[in-house]
Structure 1
Amino acid sequence: MVKLSVIIPTRDRLDCLKQTLASLQKQTFTDFEVIVSDDGSTDRTKSLAKQKFPFIFKLVSQPNLGRAAARNHGFSVAEGGIIVFIDDHIILDKDFLKEHYNTHQKFAKKGVAVARGRVEYVKDVSAVPKKPPRFTKKINKFNENSPFVNFITNNLSVSRDVLELTGGFDPDFKEYGFQDQELGFRARQRGFKFKVNPKAVGYIFKADGEDTPEILEKRLDKFRQAGRSAVLLSRKHYWAGLRAGVNLFNVFLNAILSLDNDWFLRFCRAQQAPTKDGKRWQYWRAKMRWAMFLKGLREGFDKYPADKYQPRSGDNVVMLVSHQADLSGAPISLAILANRLRGKSYYPILVLPQSGPIEQKIDSARVKVLNLSKYFKALKLYIYVARFRPAIIHANTFLTEYALDIAQKFGIKTILHVREDLSGFPALAKRLLRKARRLILISHSMVRYFDSEPTRLDVVYNAVEELPKNEPAAEIPYNLLYAGSIEKRKGLWDLARAFALVHQQNPKATLTVLGQALSSEKMYFWKIRRFLQKHGLLPAVNFAGVVNNIVPYLDKASLVVVPSHQEPFGRVVIEAMSRKKLVIAAAAGGIPEIIEQYRSGFLIEPGNPEQLAKMILYVWSKTAEQKTQIREKAYQTVAERFLPDAYVENITACYRKLQNDE
């Protein structure tokens, strides 16, 4: 794969284009490709496809849809990580591409994703100097961070992320003017930083020849087109700089410019015609340019009605909204998805309620991470949605229901990932079904909550992060492991009573508890501790609290116990099975969909500590060979059904269904 892709939109400028391609052959940087995007040329531009160049050359063609669409067409076949845009009538300095590449390499860690080079204007190709003239202008912070100053695609490079996240150039801009700045505004809005490198020099020469009256009229018409494009820009972006001011002068423009026969233009031309003095001629030509621009503004109000045009965004931008930033099951599942979406042609934006340990599992090079404020989370998310305009909002649990309301305001399609047991909340289930376009459930046991709309439901099992590359470490004999939050529905009270029975039969038995009590379950936690203390079992129980890495505890356990009363899926079950651990779990929720009784694990009745104690002793009594068979079957189950690639493929299939829904 090449490092740079150079995209050149063109239309009927074959002679100029050949000069530009000749300068590309002299570049000191060689790891690049050139893509010429032909916007409906009627000359022999297509003959370039038969020529040979010392670089990778691609020619793509389209009907005359405008330069914005032509640039997007070129990007669709580009392979480089950095995209360089130039015009078809520019001569490049020999170090042009090297300077653009070095700018991105040097400032990428600071968030710079847009590099603007320097443009010098010459009369013709023969006037191009051998060495770039000395750069004497001052570059200030305004110039570096203003898309209206910097984002001009006759000499510009951007990272792939910019085009993927913004959706590229807006094809609504079919006429001359502001299509570059509109994309620059969206790039700046999404947090990308700009950098100016005056050493990346290009020389623009006249593409239309001498200044004949016909050529001058053609150039003046460009200002008229720019006026119309300015109105379109203001329709799409209120704060882009024009809508507020232009609307104030709307009445004035109509009064001045809608008079019969365009009296101001006729006056300018009358003054220009007899003028022989060069400066005076330039003065009146400038007046005519502004007159044409103002006339275009007036026409733009009729051509582009208000409230009809929306800012463009990436068609495959997905905003993933998490309710937590810890290392619990739901955020881990979301991290697995986010890290792999780029490989499925989706651009993920992960929104977290605050900074947290889950960020350590995120590949920052492939996922854009945003944090909400401690207060006013919904307001901050509203601002993010307005800035990034995702194609899909994926709410990770019903606790991010507010994301569905915000998406509705912007007309954005939504998916809700339901991970909770809603058996006691039928009204909530109906409300969620009403707000979300599609729902993803984590087990078939949850379908009954939403059986009124089966066509909008998809069941996608969770996945482990990865299969272990090495054999698990040696386990501690008779060591039980519980991993999960300490609350009534998780059944730790049942395990404590079962452990008391087990310890009577086997005094060597120990219990490790991972997780902490919810704030509303403190009394429940102290009830368990008092029970263990009363029976003299506290020395045999290790309350390890919340841990960042569960793997060492899994490896040491001889048996993993999941005694939940309600468990829509049971992530700890598949994590233990992936480590070839024996698992005893209550047959609640989606757990029976994972464990095959006596083959890959063991199921018990929820809320039955006596049965749980008997099952623990039964499993420990099995021979080493029998245990090995069950461990291997458990591992095989995970390898066949609960791997990340299949999980992400199933989720993206849901995205495609959503995008195809009308």
Structure 2
Amino acid sequence: MIDGVDDGSAALAEAERRVAVRHILLPQNQGRVAALNAGFDAAQGRVLIRCDDDLVPAPDYVAQHVAAHASGERGVIGLYRNEFRHTAYATVYGRDADERFRRDAYATPSDRTWRFWAGNCSITRDTWKRVGPYDPEYRLYGWEDVDYGYRLHEAGVPVQLAPELETPHRVAAVTTEIRARRASHSGAARRIFERKHPEAGLPGAVPPWSLWNGMVRALSRVPIPSDRRGAAVDRVLPHLPAAVGRKLVALSVESAALAGYRRPRKAEEVF
């Protein structure tokens, strides 16, 4: 899928001779959900695999996904293994947070693994026809994946993590500024999910009272854009002890998510 902005990808696909490759060039940028739906609708195989363009799949990536569907209907997830370029954010927060995320994901009960549906996943064509496309209402950053994972769960389709499909991811959020901006957009998109699926049993978006959560709540109400606050943290990170910097980044990201949830933006502002 080439979503309205051809950076040379069409010519690259047309020149590929090792494997059969087809591409779809949308006439204008329509967003990730439209691109996903168009690609899956046009696909012809029995197993539909999503591999975002910032992943680095192994040579057996397709074979592993296909094999995972040999013993019955399921949704299959390979987690990201984030690769960070060197930044202060990555050093004090990003790499450690990524390791903790994957460790916690693998320890999650099977009836909650749908929350990890993302850009490295697969279902069969029959499941796609039964569950339907991604929801185009999600035009902000995030939550269209979680929504789809939950819909699989609600349809009785087991959603499983496949450790053998854990794949390197050239992560774009390598600064507090970028990470806070995305957290804000994701917080706003969460409201769509909650409206559609109030029964899903997510933890509350507004954290319960504690000293830390009180600081998160207070900072989320400060009328300064989350990315500007994140940029300020990036400037001071190189001069702080790692433990202090880690807390500052966490405070920035968590308060940005809460701010986005409390003051959701219109889709056209971030699309």
**Structure 1 and Structure 2 fold alike (TM over 0.5):** yes
1:61 to 22, 25, 43: 25
Q: What per-residue deviation string (whole Å, max 9, x for no partner) do you get for residues 392-429 of structure 1? A: xxxxxxxxxxxxxxxxxxxxxxxxxxxxxxxxxxxxxx
Matched, 1:296 2:260: yes
Matched, 1:227 2:161: no
Matched, 1:239 2:199: yes
Alignment of 1:183-198 (within 5 A): 183-198=148-163
User: Which of the pair has the greater relative contact order for Cα pairs under 8 Å at 6+ separation?
Assistant: 2
Specify whether residues 291 and 80 from structure 1 end up closer, same or farther in structure 2 by C-alpha distance, changes over 3 A only.
Answer: same
User: 1:152 — aligned with what?
Assistant: 118
Secondary structure at 2:35 match in 1: helix
What are structure 1's unaligned runs of at least 5 residues? 1-36, 125-134, 305-662
Answer yes or no: is the 8 Å Cα contact 2:82–2:170 preserved in 1: yes
Answer yes or no: is the 8 Å Cα contact 1:227–1:293 preserved in 2: yes
Note the aligned Cα RMSD (angstroms): 3.5
Matched, 1:178 2:139: no
Shift of 1:202: 1.6
Alignment of 1:252-291 (within 5 A): 256=218, 261-262=223-224, 273-275=235-237, 276=239, 277-291=241-255
Shift of 1:117: 2.3
Matched, 1:166 2:123: no
Shift of 1:156: 0.9
Specify whether residues 296 and 82 from structure 1 end up closer, same or farther in structure 2 by C-alpha distance, changes over 3 A only.
Answer: same
Specify whether residues 171 and 78 from structure 1 end up closer, same or farther in structure 2 by C-alpha distance, changes over 3 A only.
Answer: same
Alpha-carbon distance in 1 for matches of 2:60, 2:83: 19
TM-score normalised according to structure 1 size? 0.33
Specify whether residues 257 and 143 from structure 1 end up closer, same or farther in structure 2 by C-alpha distance, changes over 3 A only.
Answer: same
Shift of 1:166: 2.1
Alpha-carbon distance in 1 for matches of 2:229, 2:172: 29
Answer yes or no: is the 8 Å Cα contact 2:57–2:168 preserved in 1: yes
Shift of 1:174: 1.3
Shift of 1:285: 1.6
User: 2:88 — aligned with what?
Assistant: none
Alignment of 1:599-610 (within 5 A): none
Answer yes or no: is the 8 Å Cα contact 2:37–2:134 preserved in 1: yes
Q: What per-residue deviation string (whole Å, max 9, x for no partner) do you get for residues 77-109 of structure 1? A: 10011111111021222222222212211x21x
2:7 to 37, 43, 57: 43
Q: 1:50 is aligned with what amino acid?
A: E
User: 2:52 — aligned with what?
Assistant: 87
More helix by share: 2
Specify whether residues 65 and 219 from structure 1 end up closer, same or farther in structure 2 by C-alpha distance, changes over 3 A only.
Answer: farther
Answer yes or no: is the 8 Å Cα contact 2:152–2:159 preserved in 1: no
Q: 1:40 is aligned with what amino acid?
A: G
Specify whether residues 230 and 48 from structure 1 end up closer, same or farther in structure 2 by C-alpha distance, changes over 3 A only.
Answer: same
Alpha-carbon distance in 2 for matches of 1:103, 1:263: 43
Specify whether residues 81 and 174 from structure 1 end up closer, same or farther in structure 2 by C-alpha distance, changes over 3 A only.
Answer: same
User: 2:211 — aligned with what?
Assistant: none
Alignment of 1:195-206 (within 5 A): 195-206=160-171
Matched, 1:142 2:109: yes
Alpha-carbon distance in 1 for matches of 2:220, 2:79: 40
Secondary structure at 2:118 match in 1: coil
Alpha-carbon distance in 1 for matches of 2:236, 2:197: 43
Answer yes or no: is the 8 Å Cα contact 1:118–1:199 preserved in 2: no
Answer yes or no: is the 8 Å Cα contact 1:118–1:202 preserved in 2: yes
Q: 1:285 is aligned with what amino acid?
A: V
More strand by share: 1
Alpha-carbon distance in 2 for matches of 1:99, 1:64: 31
Alpha-carbon distance in 2 for matches of 1:122, 1:223: 19
Q: 2:118 is aligned with what amino acid?
A: I
Secondary structure at 2:168 match in 1: strand
Shift of 1:178: 1.1
Specify whether residues 290 and 241 from structure 1 end up closer, same or farther in structure 2 by C-alpha distance, changes over 3 A only.
Answer: same
Alpha-carbon distance in 2 for matches of 1:123, 1:264: 22
Alpha-carbon distance in 1 for matches of 2:56, 2:147: 26
Alignment of 1:494-505 (within 5 A): none
Q: What per-residue deviation string (whole Å, max 9, x for no partner) do you get for residues 550-574 of structure 1? A: xxxxxxxxxxxxxxxxxxxxxxxxx
Which has the higher mean CA deviation after the structures are superposed, 71-80 or 283-292?
283-292
Specify whether residues 64 and 219 from structure 1 end up closer, same or farther in structure 2 by C-alpha distance, changes over 3 A only.
Answer: farther
Specify whether residues 98 and 45 from structure 1 end up closer, same or farther in structure 2 by C-alpha distance, changes over 3 A only.
Answer: closer
Q: In terms of Rg, which structure is larger? A: 1
Alpha-carbon distance in 1 for matches of 2:108, 2:221: 43
User: 2:94 — aligned with what?
Assistant: none
Alpha-carbon distance in 2 for matches of 1:118, 1:257: 31
Alpha-carbon distance in 2 for matches of 1:164, 1:116: 19
Alignment of 1:225-624 (within 5 A): 225-242=185-202, 245-246=204-205, 256=218, 261-262=223-224, 273-275=235-237, 276=239, 277-300=241-264, 303=266
What are structure 2's unaligned runs of at least 5 residues? 86-101, 209-213
Alpha-carbon distance in 1 for matches of 2:201, 2:63: 34
Shift of 1:245: 3.4
Matched residue count: 242
Alpha-carbon distance in 2 for matches of 1:268, 1:88: 26
Specify whether residues 284 and 46 from structure 1 end up closer, same or farther in structure 2 by C-alpha distance, changes over 3 A only.
Answer: same
Secondary structure at 1:245 match in 2: coil
Answer yes or no: is the 8 Å Cα contact 2:220–2:256 preserved in 1: no
User: 1:119 — aligned with what?
Assistant: 80
Alpha-carbon distance in 2 for matches of 1:248, 1:39: 37
Q: What per-residue deviation string (whole Å, max 9, x for no partner) do you get for residues 237-291 of structure 1? A: 112345x834899xx9xx9468563399877766664342334323212211112
